[in-house]
Structure 1
Amino acid sequence: MHPLDALDAAALLAATDPAAAISSLPWLTASLAADRAAGRLAAWGRSSVIDENVGAAVLPRPLFDELHRHAGLEATWPVGNAGVLHVYGYLLSTTPTPYGLKRERWLTDDLALACGREAGAFLPWAVAQTLLSRATAAASALLARPDAIAEEPEGRTARIALGAPLPDGTAALAYAVDGLIVTMFPVADPAAVRAGLGAPRLRWNAA
């Protein structure tokens, strides 16, 4: 079975049997175990599974709990580790958003190319490095840019970084709160993102 077909099947199964869904993807169980052993999830902050654009959870609670169990992390619904949710959880989300499925950032080439990587660089089933490891490295590089925007929402510190745009205008965005990564995704119009920020606040489901 093609890895994408296997992911589709797992995403459907996750709604009723999250343990079986995760187990059906050997690269996912191996990635979660490797990231847990290496302590990589400590580089990621906290996020709500309630999406601010949708107004509802993008993952069912049993899947939220099962992913954190595999990661060896305590989490209280609906707030969990942003790496668990935005990297691995989004792969199994079937909730439509105004920007498509959450998983598309990892499966299509826009984000990879905007991060200066080769096409397919964020495909989750690559075996050399876990997706979380690759995403952490790319997000950290973006957040180190000197032109990143600093904010102080609710007495906390946040950083919004936009990479150099591709010829079609697409750029990579990374967001961190209190020095911990929250999310990364491609944006079609980085100038519009900058112009539309408004007053400081916690953004992109950060908690």
Structure 2
Amino acid sequence: MTTPDEQPVKSSTDRVDTAARRATEDPVAALALLPGIAASIRQDAADGMFDAWELSTAVDENTGEPVVPEALFHHLHTTAGLTATWPVGNAGLVHVYGYLFSLADTPYGLKRERWLDAELATAYGERTLFHAEALRGHAVSVTPLARITDAARTLLAEHTVREERIGPVRARIAIGRRAASGPFALAYAIDRGEGERLVTTFPVSSPDQTLAAIDAEPPRLRWNAVE
């Protein structure tokens, strides 16, 4: 069922799709099509929000293909005032903002679906979609990244279900939901000895199946985290 807060994002879907197609050839023009996103990135940079996020590869671990165009990857990092060497960049920037421009087909669908449908926001108990205000086309009081960072940290504090050691690296996985039904939210963070940083968050339909898959293999860095 479409909620009143979901409608603004649904009405922005065509613009997001256009921006994603434009990003393959003209990343500057692509980001300009979503001025609220560009403003959010600049605000996050000023607030130091990207420091809460780890490094991530922009090459999908399932397909082996880039999730976002290389030129867009560089333009996003330039906009955020961050230094990055393709394909390794800031996970918050790539996952929260870069995925909006992704056309890559994965076994789980388009990466941006987590931000344009209600599943993840509902699992976190959010009253509006994380990107709804920014996709209306103007600066926001609380950026999508700031909201997602707070939600994922809270989930890790309250619902950690697995901890793994990969050499000197400690990883934590949290799965939980505030809704009475529907998908769960998963949050993943790692600590290299200098403080825990987030890697990603996404919806999962079956915690039991997700945990069974995790437990069936040795500990490793997951979900596009890099060594």
In the superposition, the TM-score normalised over structure 2's length comes to: 0.86
Structure 2: distance between partners of 1:166 and 1:100: 23
SS in 1 for 2:152: helix
Corresponding residue for 1:88?
A: 97
Q: Is 2:159–2:176's contact at 8 Å kept on the other side of the alignment?
A: no
> How big is each residue's C-alpha offset from its partner over 1:107-149, in whole Å with a ceiling of 9 and x where there is no partner?
1101011111125344342633211111101111111125432
The range that moved more, 20-29 or 165-174, is 165-174
Question: Matches of 2:80 and 2:70 in 1, distance apart?
Answer: 15
1:152-175: per-residue Cα shift (whole Å, max 9, x none)? 113201110001375545110000
Matched residue type, 1:186 = P
Matched residue type, 2:12: P
Following the alignment from structure 1 to structure 2, what is the Cα–Cα distance between the partners of residues 146 and 32? 28
Partner of 2:150: 137
- Residue 115 (str. 1) matches residue 124 (str. 2): yes
CA RMSD of aligned residues (A): 1.7
Query: In the alignment, is residue 193 of structure 1 matched against residue 210 of structure 2?
Result: yes
Supply the distance in 1 between the matched residues of 2:74 and 2:63 (Cα, whole angstroms): 21
d(CA) in 2 for partners of 1:99, 1:40: 28
Amino acid at match of 1:202: L
Q: 1:175: which partner in 2?
A: 188
Number of corresponding residues: 207
Matched letter for residue 18 of structure 1? P
Where in structure 2 are there 5+ consecutive unaligned residues?
1-7
Give, in whole Å, the separation in 1 of the partners of 2:90 and 2:70. Answer: 14
AA aligned to 2:78 is R
- Unaligned 5+ runs, structure 1: none
- Partner SS state of residue 149, structure 1: strand
1:16 paired to 2:25? yes
My pick for the range that moved more, 158-167 or 3-12, is 158-167
Identity %: 48
* TM-score after normalising by structure 1: 0.94
SS in 2 for 1:152: strand
2:135 to 122, 125, 130: 125
Instruction: State the AA in 1 paired with 2:175.
Output: L
CA distance in structure 2 between the aligned counterparts of 1:125 and 1:26, rounded to whole angstroms = 8
Per-residue CA deviation, residues 45-91 of structure 1 (Å, 9 max, x unaligned), is 00000101111111111011000000100001110000010000001
